[in-house]
Amino acid sequence: MTGSLTAMRFGRHFPLIPALALVFAMFAVPVAFVFVEAVFAPEFSLAHFDRFFTRSVYLTVYWNTLFVSATVASICLLIGYPMALFIVGQPERRRPLLLFLVLVPLWMSILVRTYAWMVVLGREGIVNSALLWTGIIDQPMTLMFTTGSVYVAMVQILLPIMVVTCYSAMTEIDPGLVRAARVCGAPPFAAFRRVFLPLSLEGALTGWSVIFILSMGFFIVPALVGGRRDVLLGNMIVNQIAQANWGFAAAMAIVLLVSTVVLLALVRLVAARFLYSPREV
């Protein structure tokens, strides 16, 4: 009896085994290695962490990384949510094309898209040429290698993810609910604010979190289009690895991982308190 029950449980969970094995081999084991690398250098010590949290160079970059990630995620939310709203409002047969247009950039390598921004924002780039030609400016502006260019490129790269996440959350909402609100006496904006918005916030927050996570790990974009001061934690880790400082690089990687997890947990906690989730009963 017990034997067959165990067998049944095993049978039920069996399909999970390949995925678990993959996560274990490709994620858990490397992270454990990184952790070991960070605290044994060569014997147990928290020296790397101590160095990170006591030197203002590193702390500045650390806060900058958090700030840039949160800002990029928020800008994506402010642009992506209305975009998704627009697509959901379109007739059903036109939506696939619009979604396709949103997704096309995702199929291009981040590297290619980042270099494309150099073509657009460079001294002799499209923007400067156009402004010079129309006579609005008489000297090329510095658009490349600025904090602004980092934001522009990161938002452009990550925006499709926000649009798609918001879109799928919005399509889950029964359009009858908005009709019901209207017939109950709510003008269009009130129906949106009281019914549609609360029901789509959960999805919007998921999009924000995904983009925040991805931003925290960015290093190609700031390296290619950013200025000297636009350094993210990812860049520092790459630098340390290039200098074979494995221990310190590992410590920073752990800080990055823990910060991301803690921050998202906080966001979830606040969301659970204030947002409606379709899963709760």
Residues of this chain that interact with other proteins (CB under 8 A) are 174, 176-177, 179-188, 190-191, 194-195, 198-199, 276, 278, 280-281
Judged by DSSP in three states, 24 sits in helix
Q: Rounded distance, CA 102 to CA 161, Å?
A: 9
Q: How far is the CB of 182 from other proteins (least distance, A)?
A: 4
Nearer residue to other proteins within complex by CB, 203 or 234: 203
Nearer residue to other proteins within complex by CB, 46 or 177: 177
- Here the tokens at position 172 are 């889950």
Question: Which residue has 């919005």 as its token pair?
Answer: 170
Which three-class secondary structure string do you get for 102-134? HHHHHHCCHHHHHHHHHHHHCCCCHHHHHHHHH
Nearer residue to other proteins within complex by CB, 205 or 255: 205
Run of H or E residues at 214? helix 197-216
Q: Is the dihedral of CA 217, 220, 223, 227 positive or negative?
A: negative
Judged by DSSP in three states, 40 sits in strand
Nearer residue to other proteins within complex by CB, 64 or 171: 171
Nearer residue to other proteins within complex by CB, 43 or 280: 280
Q: How far is the CB of 198 from other proteins (least distance, A)?
A: 5
Q: How far is the CB of 270 from other proteins (least distance, A)?
A: 16
Q: How far is the CB of 86 from other proteins (least distance, A)?
A: 20
Nearer residue to other proteins within complex by CB, 133 or 189: 189
Q: Rounded distance, CA 113 to CA 106, Å?
A: 9
End-to-end distance of the chain based on CA atoms, in angstroms? 35
Q: How far is the CB of 180 from other proteins (least distance, A)?
A: 4
Q: How far is the CB of 274 from other proteins (least distance, A)?
A: 11
CB atoms < 10 A from the CB of 77, how many? 19
